[in-house]
Amino acid sequence: MPITSFHDDLPSKRPGPEGLKHDGNSVFGTTLVDWLAATNEPREPKEREYIRPSDALSCARKVSYVANGTAGTEMEPSGMWNVTLGNNIHQMMGEATKAAYPDAQVEVQFDTTISIGDVDVPVVSYVDAFIPSLGLVTDFKSIGGFGYKMAIGERGTPQGAKPEHLIQAGIGALLCGASKVSVTYISKEAISIAVANRKGFSETERFCAEWTVDLDDIRPQVEAEILRLWGINRLWHDEHTLASRKVPGIPVEISAPRDGSYVQKEIDPNTGIEIVLATGSYWGCNYCSYQQVCISDGGGRVTK
């Protein structure tokens, strides 16, 4: 029988005016957190006399801690959740790539040396996917919905793949002898149908996009970054000195790792008075597992 009049006694999609609060005691959240803790073994800290491409464009001080084997703070459950999701996404992408390209190699491991000029740099790495028939290396990056939207241009100009991801993939291309470098972003949340229609994104682009460049176009930056990482590594192993808290692209050292803030100052040549040119804050400090040790070690180069 058709419903012909308004019935507020029927089930509704909207909660009542007082909302619906979640349970105070979680059954499945606790279960998940316990499982994550049991399946994510903490990494053993160890000294490294090699560079890792995943450190591309990282804070120099952080690279020092990686070199000297400083133990970072343990990962929180939210971090384990993120890493586990990322691992599963990588596994899916690897299987999909091998199914589509029979010659594809996934999770290619390297423990080798890259020569740049007369400098031999030890590198330990693994490359997410190398497809010899396409001369292409890619790095898979699982990414949150907001970051993906910014990258693909859901709001404003597309920001594209992050430079550190392209450099990391570029090092992988050097290792594999590939001529093309790509970064593939896989979003953990799809862009809405309405926005995709408005912006002209395909169904695939709602959650997956890639950026490809010729290795030769970024080779100078890739090689410069390899040498920077190696220089920081040697600074520790040859001189027992930690690098200062410099982040590529930020003009001055991070002054307060507690919140990542920095202040760029200059002496006015006319008045001799110190003036502030710029202030800002580096988001990475809040996610850095070395934040506490970095605070206690202090700024500048630190010899131990």
Q: Which residues bind ligand SF4 (CB under 6 A)?
A: 59, 61-62, 245, 254, 257, 260, 284-285, 288, 290-291, 294
Residue matched to tokens 């850095």:
288
Q: What's CA 38's distance to the chain center, in Å?
A: 24
Name the minimum Å distance from CB 65 to ligand SF4: 6
What single string gives the DSSP state of each residue in 211-250?
A: EEEEHHHHHHHHHHHHHHHHHHHHHHHHH-EEPPS--TT-
Q: Residue 245, Cβ neighbours under 10 Å: how many?
A: 28
Which pair of structure tokens corresponds to residue 294? 């970095």
For ligand SF4, the closer CB: 82 or 289: 289
For ligand SF4, the closer CB: 221 or 281: 281
DSSP SS3 for 133: helix
DSSP state at residue 273: -
For ligand SF4, the closer CB: 60 or 150: 60
Name the minimum Å distance from CB 290 to ligand SF4: 5
For ligand SF4, the closer CB: 154 or 253: 253
Name the minimum Å distance from CB 248 to ligand SF4: 11
Name the minimum Å distance from CB 246 to ligand SF4: 8
Name the minimum Å distance from CB 296 to ligand SF4: 11
For ligand SF4, the closer CB: 84 or 244: 244
> Could you tell me how many helices (H) and strands (E) the chain has, helices first?
8, 9
For ligand SF4, the closer CB: 130 or 236: 236
DSSP SS3 for 263: strand
298 dihedral zone (left: phi>0; alpha: psi -120 to 50; beta): left
Name the minimum Å distance from CB 260 to ligand SF4: 6
- How far apart (Å, rounded) are the C-alpha atoms in residues 114 and 177? 11
- How far apart (Å, rounded) are the C-alpha atoms in residues 195 and 206? 9
Name the minimum Å distance from CB 52 to ligand SF4: 15
Residue 300 half-sphere exposure toward CB, CA atoms < 13 A:
3
For ligand SF4, the closer CB: 61 or 180: 61
Question: SS3 sequence, 254-302?
Answer: CCECCCCEEEEEEECCCCCCEEEEEEEECHHHHHCCCHHHHHHHCCCCE
259 dihedral zone (left: phi>0; alpha: psi -120 to 50; beta): alpha
Paired with 186 in beta bridges are 142, 208
For ligand SF4, the closer CB: 65 or 211: 65
Name the minimum Å distance from CB 258 to ligand SF4: 8
